[in-house]
Amino acid sequence: MKDLGEFIDINKTRGLPRTYKFNQFIRWFTLIFAALAIVYSIWLIFNKVDSDSSKFTQFVPFIIMFLALNSFLRNLFSLNKVKLTHEMISFHYLGKRSVNILWSSLVKMELNDSKRKMIRLKYIVNDVEKSLDYTLSFPKPLEIANSIAEMVPQIEFDEFMATVVITDKEKKDFLTKNKK
């Protein structure tokens, strides 16, 4: 990692509180466009499609509605904003409740190697272990992972996350190398 220096003491250099957001223009444009496509396909079904229409004309509005609804729901319920403060990390969504995780409750960070690559955070609330997944396609995933590791030095990593997150040894080596 040639730009290792930008991730060392990231919370001190970038400051807290800090917020990472998905591009709001893209998010809202997609939501509005998908809603308009759903309304248009419903209008087509009730006003332009009848028993004399071809099979293609009968099925196309349903395909449009399915694709638009899929896009709408995906953008509505996916992660919209991550906020790091001195006390906790907060995950905000448009269509569901936010999740706030205290730094002291985090126990493990691992890669969820499913169809969509995600980082899984395991944390304990009221003696119950819970997990939260956020996608690697969210903006600046390395900064967020290194910020979490810096705020929670006792956190456990799986094999992949241990190679991604900067360790104390790597920090010391980088700092001694750059002092020369």
pLDDT at 121: 95
DSSP classification of residue 5: G
pLDDT at 166: 79
pLDDT at 1: 45
pLDDT at 15: 82
DSSP strands (E only) in 16-150: 18-21, 79-84, 88-93, 99-102, 106-113, 117-125, 128-135
Cα dihedral: 96, 101, 105, 111 (round 10): 70
Please give the model's pTM, rounded to 2 decimal places.
0.83
pLDDT tens series, the chain, 180 aa: 456 656 677 777 778 899 999 999 999 999 999 999 999 999 999 998 988 989 999 999 999 999 999 999 999 999 999 999 999 999 999 999 999 999 999 999 999 887 788 999 999 999 999 999 999 889 998 889 989 988 998 899 998 888 888 766 666 666 677 765
pLDDT at 167: 66
Please list, in sequence order, all residues whose beta carbon lies within 8 angstroms of the beta carbon of residue 66, skipping any fewer than 6 positions away.
none
pLDDT at 11: 76
- What's the rounded Cα separation, in Å, for the pair 146 and 127? 26
pLDDT at 83: 96
Q: Are 138 and 79 in contact (CB under 8 A)?
A: yes
Please list, in sequence order, all residues whose beta carbon lies within 8 angstroms of the beta carbon of residue 26, skipping any fewer than 6 positions away.
none
